Amino acid sequence: MMTSISMHLILGLCLEIIISQSSPPTWLYIIDGEGIIYNSNNISLTVITDQQQNITCEAYGARPTAVLEWRLPDDMAVVHDQSDDILDGSYISQKAVTITPSRDDHGKILRCIASHRELPENLQCIVHVNVHVLPTSVLLFPTGGSQSQTRLIYVQEDSPTSITCRSIGSFPTTQLYFQLENGNDLDERILPNISSERNILDDALFDTEGTVILHLNIVHHGRYIKCFVSLEKSIVELLYAKVIVYGPPEGINITSPMDLYDGIEINVTCKAVNGYPAPHIHWYIGSRNLTEDSSLNISENKAGRYDAESTLTLIPTRFDNGKHLLCEALQPPAFQTRSMNQSLVLNITYAPVVSITVMRRTSSKASGTTDLVLICKADANPLVTTFVWLCNETVVSKDTNNYRFIETISENATLTSSGLGIQNPLSKYYSVYKCTAISEYGSGSAVFDSLYLYFIPNPPSGFIIRQIQTRSSSLFVAWQPGFIIGK
């Protein structure tokens, strides 16, 4: 017990001896509400108008305590009591004030004075109040559009787009710059063209406007453009808007069955991907619009754009063979008309379609004999490979004195013809001729009845023309004895 009392007395005496060694403060400085230390005179201390901020004056290293005094403009601050703490045998003294600056306080002086018996003259630390007025509003919008804050900016793909960020009613003028998301951690910083002017409602404040011109495409769809607003390098506002890019689909593709047959229904699909807004899909064969025979399914992809898939129900016919089936994807009419398309050539398999044409040929003027020539034409895909002629159900197999085969000719991709010459006097007898065309897919036939020869009209004669017009006229008459039998 006696030992404990002795130790306390010794410690108390040592502390009294240390404290009794008088020394002035070694440091005097001002600390703002963010912990920034001002230890030189005539430095600007930035504050925001009408916002409270606690500012502390601190003296370090005095024995005994220094006396701190604030000298402030009238009615600017509330002064708090001084506090003192001991550290390593000397005192840290603090005296705080709470200020609520107005715009009229800009440039005023805050002075902290430290007095001590060991100081030949008082220490002082001085700061100038730099009052910032935050913008009353900041807007981000497409240039030329409504000057109101927007969260979505709509642009046309690959077209120049002007975007404006506007700061209203600040002091001093704000600094502006943009950032455009690139899809990674390194956003692209863009410096705008900047202009400033006095605010029309308050001549002491400024309006600042920054404008950038961007060329955006579908990779920017759904990304953000940001506007940073700062006062003397301190960011005071951040605005952002999502970019929505109008544009046609990025790709289009038609899927069709490999084999197409005349009269057999099929489904053909056309898919257009990554368009905005959802594209319309139209179908055509030549100028014929088939869109009504199709269905459309639209889905939103991960990028926030649209994929459209259309299914066309088609019954192909031989008349469509070789024509282009076109799928066209286009933006809705309310937007800039842009489209993309893909087509395929229809290769339709069909059996031979056969017809017979008959002609008369005079062998010579001297003999006056006449031959009949039957021309068998077959339209088929694939091409006809074989023609078979029959007369009264009997195959005409080879050239004879009565029949003469004319060389088989391929006239185009699907049309083939074969000729059969019939010599007098056989042509004068009643007969039924049949031509059968055979391809890899099927066959077709046509029949010619020689009875029709008796109905071939004679050339016209004995024209009578009554001209009742005052100006000259011409009349042309053409007559052809040949005709087509069977289809």
Neighbours of 442 (CB within 10 A): 13
Cis link prior to 382 (omega < 30° from 0)?
yes
Task: Give strand pairing partners of 57.
Answer: 30, 95
Neighbours of 268 (CB within 10 A): 22
- CA torsion angle 46 49 54 58 (round to 10): 30
Q: Which of 87, 26, 92 is nearest to 56 (CA)?
A: 92
Q: How far is CA 65 from CA 16, 91, 122, 311, in A?
A: 14, 6, 14, 91
Domains 137-246 and 350-455 share a fold: yes
Average pLDDT over residues 295-307: 93
* 251-346 is classed CATH 1.20.210.10: no
Q: What percent of the chain has pLDDT over 90?
A: 56
Distance CA 271, CA 253 (A): 5
> pLDDT tens digits, residue range 336-368?
667 889 999 999 999 999 999 988 766 555 454
* 3-state class (DSSP) for residue 291: helix
Query: What are the sequence ranges of the domains in the chain?
Result: 20-132, 137-246, 251-346, 350-455
Which residue is listed with tokens 């902290």? Answer: 112
Whether residue 58 is predicted with pLDDT greater than 90 in this model: the reply is: yes
What's the CATH code, domain 137-246?
2.60.40.10
Distance CA 119, CA 25 (A): 8
Q: What is the pLDDT of residue 408?
A: 79
Cβ atoms 2, 32 nearer than 8 A: no
Cβ atoms 218, 236 nearer than 8 A: no
Q: What is the pLDDT of residue 163?
A: 94
What's the CATH code, domain 20-132?
2.60.40.10
Which residue is listed with tokens 């970019």? Answer: 243
Which residue is listed with tokens 């100038």? Answer: 128
Q: If phi over 0 gives left and psi between -120 and 50 gives alpha, with beta otherwise, what is residue 41?
A: beta
Average pLDDT over residues 227-243: 91
Distance CA 429, CA 402 (A): 12
Can you give the pTM of this predicted structure?
0.67
> pLDDT tens digits, residue range 154-205?
988 888 999 999 999 999 999 999 999 877 666 788 999 999 999 999 999 9
For 168, list phi and psi in degrees, rounded to 5. -120, 130
What's the CATH code, domain 350-455?
2.60.40.10
- How big is the CA angle at 161 (ends 136 and 225), to the nearest 5 degrees? 55
List of residues 6+ apart from 365 with CB closer than 8 A: none
